[in-house]
Amino acid sequence: MPEYTLRLQRFSPQTRPEPWWEEVTVELDRHHSVLDGILEAKERDGTIAIRYSCRAAICGSCGVRINGRPGLACHTQLGEAAQAASGGAIVIEPMGNMPVLKDLIVDMDTVHWRKVKQVRPWLVAAEPQPEREYIVPHETMVDVTQTMACIQCGACVSDCLSMEVDPLFVGPAALAKAYRFVSDPRDADDRGRLRDLAEDPHGLYDCTHCFNCVDACPKGVAPMNQIMRLRRIAGSDLEIDDANNGLRHEHGFVDNVRKNGLLHEGDLLTDSYGGKLKPRTVFVLFDSLPGILQALRRRKFSLHAALGHPHRDARRGHQRYFDRIEARPERVELNLYFSGYEDDPGSTPSVPTGEDSAAVASGPNPRKLRDRPGATS
């Protein structure tokens, strides 16, 4: 039986104020999980604390960082974790962005669950309510299925860079939850939900597209994609113009690329505030001066690149892509989400057949039940 060394981060604030590291060696088959390894260590030292329940990647309790990446301890094999550690000790730490209570257990109530509650995680029924249950067309629920796969393990929260900088950011898990209700055809308050999230300075537009949450999610929920969908519905469909300048920044971004071929960061701020001569732009530029000077000092960009934009001429003719997309009568969004198992032929992306094993929604996002002609309720 192979041996694996687990390097565990321990923390017990009642007895020691600072965290410390401890190494334990366990003898287990390579297909056993990291959780099995931790529990084996716990047999010998009952003070090791970890939260778990199902041991089958369903309950989301056993989220930890393994070799620096968030994941489910019960869903990571010892063999693959050792390989990722290049044969050295498997490093196991508590998840990030949440206070540690003891050893590998973090306080999810004060961060994760508080933020989920913030997005009103329940359906707001349309009035008048039907006498019996809502009947919704199958294809309108496909889009919701992806976010429903979330098991609330907190892996995405653990690695969210925006939350690291701004702990008040609503965060990837809660925003994915918000999309679950915004896209549900039975929910009647998508506008209210999106307005709240867009107006919140720590809301919809606080995500910086770092993709960490997409990599971290063990269930393929891809929270960042859901955040981008929320933005598209808020901006393009519902035209919510927020006080945080999020919508205008997105438009400024598009105009900037249309104008320059490649993004020209030097103009982005002024483009986002409606041009160099707008009084608000002058104020924001003045306000951003310390940051700009610091970036110049650290050579993040040069004055020559900022003012001249050397790439400007490299992509002539790109405007035709914008023209073609903008000429479309309505926004086309292709949402693909496949569920099932790799060895199930019905669930492979190339053969999207079989109602239970694979699901595809395409074309304009199927919107609310009440917006659909002939919809039954």
Residue from 28, 41, 62, 150 touching ligand FES (CB under 6 A): that is 62
- Among the listed ranges 58-66, 164-172, 317-325, 331-339, the one in contact with ligand FES (CB under 6 A) is 58-66
For 146, the token pair is 């992806």
- State whether the Cα torsion 313-315-320-321 is positive or negative: negative
* Least distance to ligand FES, CB of residue 222, Å: 19
Q: Three-class SS of residue 332?
A: coil
SS (H, E, C) 91-125: EEECCCCCCEEECCEECCHHHHHHHHHHCCCCCCE
* Least distance to ligand FES, CB of residue 354, Å: 27
CB nearer to ligand FES: pick between 58 and 325: 58
* Least distance to ligand FES, CB of residue 300, Å: 41
Distance in angstroms (rounded) separating the CA atoms of residues 247 and 253: 10
* Least distance to ligand FES, CB of residue 220, Å: 15
Q: How far is CA 296 from CA 132, 201, 269, 311, in A?
A: 64, 27, 16, 19
Residue from 22, 54, 300, 308 touching ligand FES (CB under 6 A): that is 54
Query: According to the binding rule CB under 6 A, does residue 74 interact with ligand FES?
Result: yes
Query: According to the binding rule CB under 6 A, does residue 64 interact with ligand FES?
Result: no
From the list 84, 93, 89, 86, the residue with the least C-alpha distance to 26 is 89
Site for ligand FES in 318-377 (CB under 6 A): none
CB nearer to ligand FES: pick between 43 and 127: 43
Q: Three-class SS of residue 93?
A: strand
Angle ∠(279,289,272) on CA atoms, nearest 5: 50
From the list 130, 267, 126, the residue with the least C-alpha distance to 184 is 126
Residue from 11, 38, 39, 61 touching ligand FES (CB under 6 A): that is 61
Q: Are 307 and 266 in contact (CB under 8 A)?
A: yes
CB nearer to ligand FES: pick between 58 and 289: 58
Angle ∠(209,271,240) on CA atoms, nearest 5: 65
Kindly determine how many residues on this chain lie close enough to bind ligand FES according to the rule CB under 6 A.
12
Place of tokens 């063999």: 79
Contact letters (x/-) for ligand FES, 237-266, by CB under 6 A?
------------------------------
Residue from 10, 55, 195, 251 touching ligand FES (CB under 6 A): that is 55
Query: According to the binding rule CB under 6 A, does residue 135 interact with ligand FES?
Result: no
Site for ligand FES in 33-52 (CB under 6 A): 52
CB nearer to ligand FES: pick between 57 and 194: 57
CB nearer to ligand FES: pick between 207 and 216: 216
Q: For residues 320, 323, 328 and 334, what is the CA-based torsion angle, rounded to 10 degrees?
A: 60
Beta bridge partners of 6: 24, 90
Distance in angstroms (rounded) separating the CA atoms of residues 191 and 242: 12
Query: According to the binding rule CB under 6 A, does residue 60 interact with ligand FES?
Result: yes
Q: DSSP class of residue 355? A: T
- Among the listed ranges 53-61, 199-207, 328-336, 353-361, the one in contact with ligand FES (CB under 6 A) is 53-61
Query: According to the binding rule CB under 6 A, does residue 53 interact with ligand FES?
Result: yes
Query: Contact positions toward ligand FES, by CB under 6 A?
Result: 52-55, 57-62, 72, 74
